[in-house]
Structure 1
Amino acid sequence: MTTQQPIRIGLIGANIHQGWSPRAHLPALAAHPDFDLAAVCTTRQESADEARAAFNAGSAWNDYNRMLADADIEAATISLRVPSHYEPTTAALRAGKHTFTEWPLGRTTEEAIEMADLARERGVKTAVGLQARANPAIAHLRNLVADGYVGRVMTCHVRLMREGVLSRDSGRTWQRDNELGAHTLTIACGHTIDALCSVVGEFADVATVVSTQASTWHESDTGQDLPVTSPDNILVSGNLQSGGVGSVQIGSTPWAGSGYRMEIYGEEGTLVAVSVDSPQMQQVTIRGARGGSNELQDLTPAEELHLAPEIPGGTAYNVGQLYSRFAASIRGTANGDALPDFDHAVELHRFIDAIRQSSDEGQRVAVA
């Protein structure tokens, strides 16, 4: 938070009736003192006007190119379905706007590389929506490991098992297509493994299974049974660059999931984090033991790790945390260096490519 003038930002994908924006970006920006929600844009003027009124935005647009031509707008957020990220993101970069795009950055790694290269060429700041690593509890775990709480990390594991509804309306069944880039491997696994790596460091290699267990979804409003090519279960094991070993299990199950759990075991201690869902969505409880004790004790994130203001609805808070880091990056102040930018997104895209390659080839693969 700052006494400087707020950064004027425009949000592309501001429909208040569906998607991620009304749950996360719109409330986060409306509450954030570092930003002025200067503009909102949807494909229809009526829905843009609704978003403007609901979140007190400065202006409403039905054409993002016209919105981006406004010289008073300094930054842009792109919160759309993954296949639609590329065009408005490149338009924002070419317009010289600092740009925040949701994860996955692109439908493919090639798209992500092109956007990261363009951002570097234009000299603008970028952010990608990997907000799990901005969760105060995950940031606290990262600091604890870096400060030697567990000593050398020997082994770690993270698991996220979610309810995966097999009956969906036609507005959600598009995610069944693997080629569109929005599924359990890219989204749930991407967020979860990125948070793990932010704490324990990167993987050196992986051996994986990427599987589609639910081969059909029922489309509730049309009555059709549709074929599914998107993966819904991912298993990853590998060596960390630091010398330890790690494993990951991500699953979308037909019925009740068991939530999220991260475990880190070192030569001098243990850390455990649990939540009802991914730390991208929810706050996390952390516990630890060290110094010869086998009893886990509650640990509380340091107050300075809470960068965002209180935001109505728990889902928006960690997105607000990223916006705090985005503002710091734009202004060149402290906390900006910890922001996941487009170059970081490319690295994660490549990691996911390695996970898929290992599964396809049935062999261990080095992580670039």
Structure 2
Amino acid sequence: MATASNTVRVGFVGVSGSDDPTLTGWANVTHLPALEALDGVVLAGVCATSPEKAQAAADRFGVPGYSSAADMAAAQGIDIVAVTVKVPDHYDVVTAAIEAGKPVYCEWPLGNGLLEAEKMTHHAATRDLRCAVGLQARAAPTIRYVRDLVAQGYIGDVLSTTLLGSGMNWGPGMLLRNAYTLDARNGATLLTIGVGHALDPLEFCLGRIEEVQTLSGLRREEIHFVENSKTVKATAEDQWVIAARLESGAVASIHYRGGQAGGQNLRWEINGTEGDLVLSSDFGQMQPMTLALAGAKGGERPEPMEIPPEYMLAGDLPDPALNVAQAWALFVSGSEDAATFEDALHMHRLIDAIDQSARTGRALVREFDKGVEVWCEAP
């Protein structure tokens, strides 16, 4: 991404100026360390919901503070607007940035539902803005290496893939600040977050999904808050089981469950005609943590595999900042591997199809109508 100063200046909506670690959010623990680790990308502005909060963040980080996303986006000292607020607030902030002619890096999910994602993607395209979405799992060193291994034929032709993951959230107890994820109307559910963050790297490595059939369930209807033991009713399903067929003909099985299991919470197997790859983690979501990789050929037991250093784009950052830094590196370099708004729109359509299949009990297939991706009931 070329700029007049050869430095990419990023303004953040959603950074906290508080010194209290319980009040700092995702941006503080991931995006800010990520920018510090990258050459030529700097924090240049912060925006908060009130003048007082904006000033606190400005004082803490030594950059200009804004109480309006539109004002920050319009500032000459900002090249990119990063949106790290809750999902229901994405649309207004992203729209303000696009109106100001600034590229956007928006956290995933892009919108609260498919319609918002369609509007934002179209809006950015009409302004000829290349915008990124925080589907950072695809940028992870392990995922990028796995994609190359598959493409190079390490396991032969892919026959099938199986992914079992835990949401970590959506279990018996939850932090108060995450309560909004229990309400399906807010667009930040196990399906959109846990499943969405898993399906993007799956497709990144193995190709697009062409057919889905889904079961879902809400097994924990009451969740208690760990801070005070009060309870709240959940409306967002906490079990998602997806049977899918990829464009290659390979079949896929994906199960995401709320909460967490003891020990391993994520296991992703890719089985081919010549061998197998296995990715695993004690953390159940795909995007925040480094995944262990094992591989084998000819029916042997999978053994640990080292990730070559050329897949590390952002140094030796710890989790969960590493994958975010990798995603920023791909975006600002103009790499085709960066997750864009178009990728986000595709994922929103896939998520919508998965949800529709669960509600109707019917399989859905991906088709194209005048070049536009649509999902229809299978014949």
Question: Once the two structures are superposed, what CA deviation does each residue of 1:119-142 show, in whole Å capped at 9, x if it has no partner?
Answer: 111111110000111110011000
| Distance of aligned partners of 1:57 and 1:131 in 2 relative to their CA distance in 1, 3 Å threshold | farther
1:280 matches 2:279: no
In the TM superposition, residue 170 of structure 1 has moved relative to its aligned partner by 3.8
CA–CA distance in 2 between the matches of 1:34 and 1:72? 14
Equivalent residues of 1:207, 1:358 under 8 A apart: yes
Equivalent residues of 2:280, 2:293 under 8 A apart: yes
AA aligned to 1:156 is T
Equivalent residues of 2:264, 2:280 under 8 A apart: no
Q: 2:26 aligns with which of 14, 20, 23?
A: 20
Residue identity (%):
32
Which aligned pairs between 1:257-276 and structure 2 lie closer than 5 A?
A: 258-276=264-282
AA aligned to 2:212 is V
Q: 1:30 aligns with which of 19, 31, 36?
A: 36
The gaps in structure 1 that reach 5 residues or longer are: 330-335
Equivalent residues of 1:262, 1:272 under 8 A apart: yes
What is the number of residues matched between the two proteins? 359
CA–CA distance in 1 between the matches of 2:288 and 2:196? 13
1:289 matches 2:296: yes
Q: 1:114 aligns with which of 119, 122, 131?
A: 119
In the TM superposition, residue 293 of structure 1 has moved relative to its aligned partner by 5.3
CA–CA distance in 1 between the matches of 2:229 and 2:245? 46
Equivalent residues of 1:14, 1:79 under 8 A apart: yes
SS in 1 for 2:220: coil
Which aligned pairs between 1:99-248 and structure 2 lie closer than 5 A?
A: 99-164=104-169, 165-219=171-225, 224-248=230-254
In the TM superposition, residue 2 of structure 1 has moved relative to its aligned partner by 11
CA–CA distance in 2 between the matches of 1:34 and 1:318? 18
1:60 matches 2:59: no
In the TM superposition, residue 284 of structure 1 has moved relative to its aligned partner by 1.2
Which aligned pairs between 1:312-323 and structure 2 lie closer than 5 A?
A: 313-323=318-328
CA–CA distance in 1 between the matches of 2:242 and 2:337? 26
CA–CA distance in 2 between the matches of 1:204 and 1:12? 36
Equivalent residues of 2:357, 2:364 under 8 A apart: yes
**Other-structure match for 2:363:** 364
CA–CA distance in 2 between the matches of 1:57 and 1:344? 34
**Other-structure match for 1:73:** 78
Equivalent residues of 1:158, 1:196 under 8 A apart: no
| Distance of aligned partners of 1:256 and 1:287 in 2 relative to their CA distance in 1, 3 Å threshold | closer
The structure 1 segments of at least 4 consecutive aligned residues displaced by more than 6 Å after TM superposition are: 1-4
Q: CA-atom RMSD, angstroms?
A: 2.1
CA–CA distance in 1 between the matches of 2:12 and 2:160? 41
In the TM superposition, residue 298 of structure 1 has moved relative to its aligned partner by 2.2
In the TM superposition, residue 59 of structure 1 has moved relative to its aligned partner by 1.3
SS in 2 for 1:346: helix
In the TM superposition, residue 189 of structure 1 has moved relative to its aligned partner by 0.6
CA–CA distance in 1 between the matches of 2:13 and 2:119? 20
CA–CA distance in 1 between the matches of 2:180 and 2:128? 35
Equivalent residues of 1:43, 1:62 under 8 A apart: yes
| Distance of aligned partners of 1:352 and 1:262 in 2 relative to their CA distance in 1, 3 Å threshold | same
Equivalent residues of 1:354, 1:365 under 8 A apart: yes
CA–CA distance in 1 between the matches of 2:40 and 2:120? 25
SS in 2 for 1:171: helix
Which segment drifts farther, 176-185 or 12-21?
12-21
AA aligned to 1:8 is R
Q: 1:305 aligns with which of 311, 318, 338?
A: 311
In the TM superposition, residue 103 of structure 1 has moved relative to its aligned partner by 0.2
**Other-structure match for 2:372:** none
Equivalent residues of 1:2, 1:34 under 8 A apart: no
Q: 1:96 aligns with which of 96, 101, 106?
A: 101
Equivalent residues of 1:161, 1:260 under 8 A apart: yes
